[in-house]
Structure 1
Amino acid sequence: MAARSLEIGSAGIRAARTIEILRTEQDLAQRELAELVTALGHPMSNTMLSRIECTQRRCDVDDLVLIAEALRVSPLVLLQGPNPL
């Protein structure tokens, strides 16, 4: 079976960029955010988080919800971006 192409749409790219922006605004290293997500019951390594932020890995709905919780924002904030219109 051929590997599926990794196509990340505009919402996924916006979420990835927003995660990185909010993480850095909160002065969290990728490792620290990954540890917070893991502590919430969703195992995540800093490599996984790095790949999400660099749009080399899809951010699935479980990732999105737990990353948002760890960053203390609504998942909607990650989808809309840090400065929605």
Structure 2
Amino acid sequence: MPPTPLEIGPAGNRVARAIERARTARGVAQRQLAARATALGHPMTVTTISRIERRRRRCDVDDLVAIAAALGVSPLVLLQPAA
């Protein structure tokens, strides 16, 4: 049976964990990350960040690019498996 549209696959789970790790390593609160992404032109709420990190919402490509820019990392960093 194919996955449901809301199901988050292995890559999505990896990205969610990577976002949370990168955010906390930089001492950035979810609210700050949402504000930074919004300031960069991709409106985002703290609820969106929270849902992505808790794997309740998919992180689409636009979200990924905006979050990476807001954290000062390449989107590729967030896509790679943890070392």
Provide the TM-score with structure 2 as the length reference. 0.91
Q: Which secondary structure does the structure 2 equivalent of 1:7 belong to?
A: coil
**Structure 1: how far apart are the matches of 2:66 and 2:17?**
16
Instruction: Name the structure 2 match of 1:44.
Output: 44
- Show structure 2 runs of 5+ residues with no match: none
Cα deviation digits, residues 26-59 of structure 1 (max 9, x gap): 0011000000000000000000000000000000
* Offset at residue 5 of structure 1 (A): 4.1
C-alpha contact (below 8 Å) 1:33/1:70 kept by paired residues = yes
- Taking the TM superposition and a 5 Å limit, the aligned residue runs for 1:1-85 are 5-83=5-83
- Show structure 1 runs of 5+ residues with no match: none
**Structure 2: how far apart are the matches of 1:76 and 1:38?**
21
RMSD: 1.1
Provide the TM-score with structure 1 as the length reference. 0.89
**Runs of 4+ deviating beyond 4 Å:** none
**Structure 1: how far apart are the matches of 2:73 and 2:12?**
17
Q: How many residues align?
A: 80
